[in-house]
Amino acid sequence: MQFELLIKGGRLIDPGSQTDAMRDVGFAGGRVTAIDADIPADRARQVVDASGAIVTPGLIDLHTHVYWGGTSLGVDADAMAARSGTTTFVDAGSAGAGNFLGFRRHVMERSRARILAYLNVSFAGIFGFSSNVHVGECSDIRLCDAREAYDCGREHSDVIVGMKVRSGRIAGGSSGIAPVDVALEAADKLQLPLMTHIDFPPPGRSEVINRLRPGDVLTHCFKAFPNSPIDGAGLVREDAKAARARGVVFDIGHGMGSFDFEVATAMLKAGYAPDVVSSDVHLFCAHGPAFDVLVCLSKLLTLGMALPDAIRAVTTSPAKAIGRPDLGSLAVGSIGDAAVLRLIAGSFPYVDAGGRTVVGTERLVSDGIAVGGSWWANEGAGRIPDLGAYVPHPPMSHTAVSVRHFGHCQAHAGSDAGHGHQH
Ligand SMILES: [Zn+2]
């Protein structure tokens, strides 16, 4: 047998090699060993029928939380891999220097899916995250130590692809911009990129974005007000434009609260498609609104992103962001990671982080993946996440709660005082 695995009859979309054509892909010894218009089925031990499907490099989800059991927000990468076409999960700072060993030994080394990681600048990683507990890992600045981060990053340089910092009032309390500066110094010493999360100011968007270097990643790039890249008039902010121009990577990082249809629509309309589409999947958004990276990708397709651009945003672009071009392509000789996806038609209710629904007509689903040249079918219960099962419950402001209870003051004033009354 020439091939251990043959994915036959699909439309190969590989942005890295600028391929979009009907191609068969043969795997042997963990790698891609042939790509051709017609490879006979009898040359392979296992044949996967990809007729009517799209074959891509294995998807790389650049922002995930997969430190299962070791952190309260971790999900099981292996339970999500085949259903979401994901062969590489990049964990975004679940672990810091103080608990990275456990992540490596107990999760990475026994996982069938590939797991790489951004190292949290906070020594403890994301330790206090649940529905009832929110203690940001950067809220005590004593936890942010560049020396600990540097040493851990150097020791685990085979699996650590960059530094991570969550800046903002939730993750950083009153620490302001200081954790970002510590993370940048560690990243510089390691000669690795920094992925930065933003939530609520302080620090403000400009303070963070203007610090990012070419190749650094801004995650939650299409988040809603405040710290949105869109201003009050619906236009792209200058600092966001400047960051894009100098090569800062814009990453979706959907998650529980960080993707907004209105912002995304405005950004796409202005020509600012995201560089990377990632899920920020964790325990509190895996059942919606994010689900997984395929659902997130389907949302971007629904908002008008072209299919080849969308595929690029989960293959070539994240591979480049983590300095692993060998993972994001399907050329002969590359690592044998692939996804077999189908674009299905129907009526799909997509919900953003603010609870707004957009009904799409297309959805990407997965037949399965190849990891290191070995086939992993998407089968069993939960094969396709049920979008309709998600009921959004976004937090309400005091004003919104008051209006629900008492009604609008302006409406009252108008009806009580008659039409002639002016404020
Ligand atoms: Zn995250």
User: Tens of pLDDT along 192-202?
Assistant: 999 999 999 99
Is residue 414 over pLDDT 80?
Answer: no
| Residue 313 CA, ligand 1 centroid: distance in Å | 18
- Token pair 């920094």 in the structure block, residue: 194
Q: Alpha carbon of 251 to those of 62, 180, 281, 398: distances in Å?
A: 8, 17, 13, 31
Centre a 10 Å sphere on the Cβ of residue 208 and count the other Cβ atoms it contains: 23
Find residue 407's DSSP bridge partners. Answer: none
Mean pLDDT score of the chain: 95
| Residue 253 CA, ligand 1 centroid: distance in Å | 7
Residue from 152, 153, 203 nearest 178 by CA: 203
pTM exceeds 0.75 for this model: yes
| Residue 354 CA, ligand 1 centroid: distance in Å | 17
Q: What is the average pLDDT across 143-172?
A: 97
User: Tens of pLDDT along 75-122?
Assistant: 999 999 999 999 999 999 999 999 999 999 999 999 999 999 999 999
Taking the C-alpha atoms of residue 51 and residue 53, their distance in angstroms, rounded to an integer, is 5
| Residue 375 CA, ligand 1 centroid: distance in Å | 29
| Residue 31 CA, ligand 1 centroid: distance in Å | 31
| Residue 246 CA, ligand 1 centroid: distance in Å | 24
| Residue 258 CA, ligand 1 centroid: distance in Å | 9
| Residue 281 CA, ligand 1 centroid: distance in Å | 7
Three-state secondary structure call for residue 23:
strand
Residue 418 — pLDDT band, cuts 50, 70, 90? very low
* Structural domains for the chain: 58-324 (3.20.20.140)
| Residue 362 CA, ligand 1 centroid: distance in Å | 26
| Residue 254 CA, ligand 1 centroid: distance in Å | 8
The residue type of 318 is: P
User: Tens of pLDDT along 342-381?
Assistant: 999 999 999 999 999 999 999 999 999 999 999 999 998 7
Query: Per mean pLDDT, which range of 34-38, 314-318, 384-388 is the poorest?
Result: 384-388
| Residue 255 CA, ligand 1 centroid: distance in Å | 7
The neighbourhood of ligand 1, an ion, using CB within 5 A, equals 92, 280
Question: What's the sign of the alpha-carbon dihedral 404, 408, 411, 417?
Answer: positive
